[in-house]
Amino acid sequence: MTEFRRIGVLTSGGDAPGMNAAVRAVTRSALLGGVEVMGIYGGYQGLMEDDMKLFTSKDVAGIVSHGGTILYSARSEEFKTEAGMAKAIAVCRKNHIDGIVAIGGDGTFRGATDLSTRGIKTVGIPGTIDNDISSTDYTIGFDTAMNTVIQLIDKIRDTCESHARCDVVEVMGRNAGDIAIQTGLATGAVAIAVGEIPFDEKSAIERIRNARNNGKRNFIVVVAEGKKNFAEGFTERIEAQTGVESRFTRLGHVQRGGSPTLRDRVTASLMGEYAVDKLFQGMSDIVVCERNSNIVSMNIGFALNVDRLFKGKMTDEEKAKIAPEDLAKMEEICIERQTKKMQLYNTAKITCL
């Protein structure tokens, strides 16, 4: 067991529903373990600026159901510099912070590694609606965002049915199509286009034309924002080639807000408690992940490499530097993830008409 005087908790990068539940779980687990907690406002920027408050259990009361993050979030370029890092470390020392739980995405985890190498123990928790962190099956906020999307698409579909229209709906996810695939499946989209899977436009248009000829009146197409410069043009081509009046809708930031679902509240709470437990065990430079329904941890460097491998960003030279058994483990995670994604995509295709 490592002796901690205080730990800090912060949220960084894009906000996500469920972050508050994680902050609450971290705070209360640490307090129960007899360790004080600093709530750090505004991510790493706030850490450098010493913008923090000693939290009691009361400070996190009533937030489990709230979207956004009570700790606010920010992006900080200065933190990435040596001078910024030195500032952050000095603030940690001044405030007796020996460990930090950082909730955010891969950028946040890189920052956590940098702090860890300078003597502050760190644990990352994946918080982003995009589910685009390849080392974990699940990121906090994903379920809430998808539920928001399906509620909105269901409404759009009602009006499509009334007017015999097609609506091409662009959803968030950055470069990952996870939100698009699952919400497309769940709303009966006639086609789903994402950046990472080749899209057969000709057969999608053919499906719409045939279905219209068979009397179908509503057509929903879900496009991931990762499929760049596509959705608006595709809307025009659907109308031109099928005669079905077509509209384009970008759902936008409404997807990032709202009260977290049960899935997000529970996962965030489990991850928050687990993160504190790992810190207290003396672990550092790790990220909490969900793998096959279990909460586990992974070294941040390993997790970031899984991500690069999955996204095809790792060069052969880089691969050669990784121990073969580690590379094999990374490849296994990537294959599992890709298989799950393709299963969902294919089921959506089979069940849509």
Binding residues for ligand ATP (CB under 6 A): 12-14, 43-44, 75-76, 79-80, 104-108, 110-111, 114, 128
H/E run at residue 341: helix 324-351
H/E run at residue 287: strand 286-291
Do 20 and 141 form a contact (C-beta atoms < 8 A)? no
Nearer to ligand ATP, 13 or 184 (CB): 13
**Rounded least distance, CB 321 to ligand ATP, Å:** 19
Q: Is 200 a catalytic residue?
A: no
Nearer to ligand ATP, 39 or 246 (CB): 39
**Rounded least distance, CB 14 to ligand ATP, Å:** 3
Strands 286-291 and 294-299, sheet pairing: antiparallel
Nearer to ligand ATP, 76 or 148 (CB): 76
Please, what is the angle between helix 82-94 and helix 106-117, to 10°? 70
Tokens 């550092």 — which residue?
284
Record the tokens describing residue 188, joined without a space.
């009966």
CA-CA distance, 325 to 313, in Å (whole number)?
20
CA-CA distance, 111 to 32, in Å (whole number)?
27
Residue 341's CB: how many other CB atoms inside 10 A? 18
**Rounded least distance, CB 88 to ligand ATP, Å:** 9
**Rounded least distance, CB 258 to ligand ATP, Å:** 16
Please, which residues have CB within 8 angstroms of residue 324's CB and are 6 or more apart in sequence? Answer: none
Burial 173-204 (b: 16+ CB within 10 A, else e): bbebbbbbbbbbbbbbbbbbbbbbbebeeeeb
Nearer to ligand ATP, 44 or 138 (CB): 44
Do 122 and 283 form a contact (C-beta atoms < 8 A)? no
Among the options 98, 130, 143, 264, which is catalytic? 130
CA-CA distance, 199 to 125, in Å (whole number)?
33
**Rounded least distance, CB 302 to ligand ATP, Å:** 16
Record the tokens describing residue 24, joined without a space.
């609450």
Nearer to ligand ATP, 12 or 267 (CB): 12
Nearer to ligand ATP, 113 or 147 (CB): 113
**Rounded least distance, CB 307 to ligand ATP, Å:** 10
Catalytic residues: 130
